[in-house]
Amino acid sequence: MVPLLTKYKAMILTHSSSFITHILSTSTPASSPLHPSPKGFIDSILRHKFRGYCSNRGVMASSIKVVQNPDTISYLNQRQAAEVDEILMGPLGFSVDQLMELAGLSVATAIAEVYNVKDYNRVLTICGPGNNGGDGLVAARHLYHFGYKPFVCYPKRTAKPLYTGLVTQLESLGIPFLSVDDLPINLSEDFNILVDAMFGFSFHGKYF
């Protein structure tokens, strides 16, 4: 299961998200065709698009390197992920909401490809206060449209229109918002899938 998730993490990173999707179920998911080589996809973006762009325009991005292991898994660290976003939102002209929509849709698509909606229906998305949390709100909306039963825990909200709009869209679909106190101690009792959208590359402090 871990390699699958890591592959998707790599794929999702190409859409500027450092999302990690955690699957709580212990049973093995049904296999399904994966996107051909996420590693190749991310390599091609980083090597050709960004580096090509940067060498043309003199923008420094040479510090972006894809770390690969022999099992064709690619990783970006925190700084590299932030650097990809800076390029996307700077010289390449993508907007935050455009990237957020792609990130959330990528997460929902990855889940739908690996975990069939019949056996893995109840999805809890835990959303943090920043853009990573916004990615999670978008993912919950797409999961609903894919036939899943999403639940959202969004304890620290922001009043910015981008986020209030995402919340309104979820409320209009009747997607339940749960407080932290509503959550069971053992999440796997109530949910099949947990989407961790708490923090992305702006996390500071220590992991524990």
Ligand X SMILES: NC(=O)C1=CN([C@@H]2O[C@H](COP(=O)(O)OP(=O)(O)OC[C@H]3O[C@@H](n4cnc5c(N)ncnc54)[C@H](OP(=O)(O)O)[C@@H]3O)[C@@H](O)[C@H]2O)[C@H](O)CC1
Residue closer to ligand X by CB (options 70, 205) is 205
Residue closer to ligand X by CB (options 30, 92) is 92
Q: C-alpha distances in angstroms, 44 versus 20, 28, 38, 39, 78? A: 22, 31, 10, 8, 20
Residue closer to ligand X by CB (options 38, 128) is 128
**β-pair partners for 75:** 67
* Least distance in angstroms from the C-beta of 10 to ligand X: 13
Neighbours of 35 (CB within 10 A): 13
Residue closer to ligand X by CB (options 118, 204) is 204
Burial of residue 146 (CB within 10 Å: 0-12, 13-18, 19+) is middle
Q: Compute the C-alpha angle 187/188/193, nearest 5°.
A: 95
* Least distance in angstroms from the C-beta of 168 to ligand X: 19
Q: What is the DSSP letter of 33?
A: P
* Least distance in angstroms from the C-beta of 205 to ligand X: 3
Sign, CA dihedral 82-108-71-52, equals negative
Which helix (H) or strand (E) element contains residue 17?
none
List of residues contacting ligand X (CB under 6 A): 16-19, 81, 85, 89, 96, 99-100, 103, 128-133, 135, 199-205
Strands 20-23 and 67-68: unpaired
* Least distance in angstroms from the C-beta of 100 to ligand X: 4
Residue closer to ligand X by CB (options 18, 192) is 18
* Least distance in angstroms from the C-beta of 92 to ligand X: 11
Residue whose beta carbon is closest to ligand X: 200
